[in-house]
Amino acid sequence: MSNDIPTLLKHSRNKIVQLRIRDNKTIRGVLLDFDLFLNLTLDDAEDISDIKVVKLGKILLRGNNIIAISLPEE
């Protein structure tokens, strides 16, 4: 698999990804789509930062708020 980010994200569509965002929150959800600015659309998203999981549903995350992305293992 190539190391460029769009290729990695393309192979991760419809799979669960985990994101660390700027406000020290961790979001997990199914990657639906993305663009060149790394704006991501997630379905069944959840905020898993605290002990209590908060369901968010379908969300759009702006790429400039994302610190790290954990992709599924193949």
pLDDT for the residue numbered 73: 77
Q: Is the pLDDT of residue 1 over 80?
A: no
Which tokens sit at 23?
A: 């406000």
pTM higher than 0.75 for the full model? yes
Three-class HEC string of 10-62 = HHCCCCEEEEEECCCEEEEEEEEEECCCCCEEEEEEEECCCCCCEEEEEEEEC
Tell me the CATH number of domain 5-70, given options 2.30.30.100, 1.10.510.10, 1.10.3720.10, 3.20.20.210.
2.30.30.100
Q: Is the pLDDT of residue 74 over 90?
A: no
* Domain residue extents for the chain: 5-70
**Residue 9: helix, strand or coil by DSSP?**
helix
pLDDT for the residue numbered 3: 65
pLDDT in tens, 2-61: 468 888 889 899 999 999 999 999 999 999 999 989 999 999 999 999 899 999 999 999
